[in-house]
């Protein structure tokens, strides 16, 4: 004890005789305190947004009052669930996806369960046809569309080095994930501005949040949507329109190729419910404008990584690289086995 006090006395004596050291110590201590305070506030805000606070009510956007929601990629997985849950909330639904038969079946299901109106339009966004966008514009022209869910998306068939990405796959990913999203949004925005209310939800991904080797085109396409959504949100907020990029880790779906739900991999029903109940809350995306990570397990995972190793760290990139190399090896072995079985 006496030894510790002697060290402290010696340190204080040095500080008194060296003003530069004293001020430097005070500065670094203050910076450390501020960082701890901000971290505590972020952690508190995360907890409140995940388990206490409620998001904006869908009634703000006309639920149950004849308003329409447009959902792209509506026939399967997350898009189908958005369509069902928005229909249950009282929205009429415009269903847009590639397979007409699935859209017709979903339309009948929504009509039967919730008694709302539906309209369907089969579109293969990869083809980027002007006639398809003209047909969509004509379809929604008389409708009171107040909600847009940009859900359509595509990833690589299997993880692949960029140098080996097929040109057709590269073009499809960028066309579907980015160009189609921008074009559909541009068609809908004038209606939202005219009403001075509206909601635009665009599906992002942890594949875009973290630089993801072997899924580089998909990763880049989703990262693009982050910046675009943030910029668009700033433009449209004064006009009464809310814009939100929705981040997710894995969800059971055909695209993720994951079939079994778990704590960190919810099914589409659970994921969409968490999204629609937390509109306006960042949850795991603390500090990211116009962005939400709605599912609690994804939110905690993102918060942990961002506040420890960091999303841009070599560690994260290398972990992603090794994981997707392993996935690619398994996929190639499976394809080889199936080929031999023919």
CATH number at residue 291: 3.40.50.720
Contacts of 261 (CB under 8 A, 6+ apart): 252, 267, 270
In a domain, 44, yes or no: no
In a domain, 158, yes or no: yes
In a domain, 15, yes or no: no
User: Encoding tokens for residue 238?
Assistant: 């004064």
In a domain, 295, yes or no: yes
Look at residue 35 in the predicted model and tell me its pLDDT.
74
Look at residue 38 in the predicted model and tell me its pLDDT.
81
Phi, psi of 133 (to 5 degrees): -70, -35
Look at residue 14 in the predicted model and tell me its pLDDT.
54
Look at residue 72 in the predicted model and tell me its pLDDT.
98
In a domain, 4, yes or no: no
Element (H, E) at 202: strand 198-203
Three-class SS state of 334: helix
Tens-place pLDDT, residues 209-259: 999 999 999 999 999 999 999 999 999 999 999 999 999 999 998 777 788
What predicted TM-score, i.e. pTM, was given to this entire model?
0.90
Number of structural domains found in the chain: 1
In a domain, 194, yes or no: yes
> Could you list the mean pLDDT of each consecutive 10-residue stretch along the chain, which spans 342 residues?
58 58 62 77 95 97 97 97 98 98 98 98 98 98 98 97 98 98 98 97 97 98 97 98 97 82 94 98 95 98 95 95 96 93 82
Look at residue 310 in the predicted model and tell me its pLDDT.
94
- H helices of the chain, in order, are 2-17, 19-51, 77-88, 100-114, 130-140, 167-174, 181-195, 206-209, 216-236, 268-276, 296-306, 314-341
Evaluate whether 207 touches 217 at the Cβ level (below 8 Å): no
In a domain, 230, yes or no: yes
Domain with 288, as residue range(s), is: 58-324
Residues designated as active site = 218, 222
Look at residue 7 in the predicted model and tell me its pLDDT.
59
Place of tokens 């929604």: 140
Among 102, 104, 99, 185, residue whose Cα is nearest residue 145: 185
Evaluate whether 243 touches 254 at the Cβ level (below 8 Å): no
Evaluate whether 141 touches 307 at the Cβ level (below 8 Å): no
In a domain, 52, yes or no: no
């Amino acid at each position: 004890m006496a030894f510790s006090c002697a060290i402290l006395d010696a340190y204080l004596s040095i500080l008194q005789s060296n003003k530069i050291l004293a001020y430097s110590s005070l500065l670094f201590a203050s910076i450390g305190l501020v960082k701890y305070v901000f971290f505590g506030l972020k952690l508190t805000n995360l907890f409140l947004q995940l388990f206490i606070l409620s998001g904006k009510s869908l009634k703000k956007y006309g639920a149950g009052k004849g308003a329409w929601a447009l959902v792209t990629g509506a026939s399967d997985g997350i898009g189908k669930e958005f369509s069902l849950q928005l229909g249950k909330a009282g929205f009429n639904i415009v269903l847009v996806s590639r397979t007409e038969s699935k859209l017709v079946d979903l339309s009948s299901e929504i009509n039967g369960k919730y008694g709302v109106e539906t309209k369907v339009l089969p579109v293969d966004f990869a083809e980027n046809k002007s006639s398809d966008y003209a047909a969509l514009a004509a379809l929604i022209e008389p409708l009171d569309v107040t909600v847009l869910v940009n859900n359509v998306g595509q990833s690589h068939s299997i993880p692949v080095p960029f140098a080996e990405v097929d040109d057709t796959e590269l073009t499809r990913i960028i066309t579907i994930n980015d160009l189609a999203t921008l074009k559909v949004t541009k068609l809908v925005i004038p209606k939202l501005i005219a009403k001075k209310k509206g909601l635009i939800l665009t599906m992002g991904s942890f594949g875009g949040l973290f630089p993801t080797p072997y899924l580089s085109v998909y990763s880049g396409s989703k990262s693009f949507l982050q910046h675009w959504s943030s910029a668009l949100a700033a433009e449209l907020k004064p006009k009464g329109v809310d814009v939100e990029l929705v981040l997710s880790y894995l969800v059971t779906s055909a695209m993720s190729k994951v079939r079994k739900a778990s704590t960190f991999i919810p099914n589409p029903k659970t994921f969409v419910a968490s999204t629609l109940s937390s509109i306006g809350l960042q949850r795991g995306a603390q500090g990211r404008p116009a962005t939400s990570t709605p599912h609690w397990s994804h939110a905690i995972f993102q918060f942990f990584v961002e506040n420890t190793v960091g999303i841009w760290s070599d560690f994260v990139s290398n972990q992603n690289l090794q994981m997707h190399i392993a996935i690619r090896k398994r996929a190639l072995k499976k394809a080889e086995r199936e080929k031999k079985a023919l």
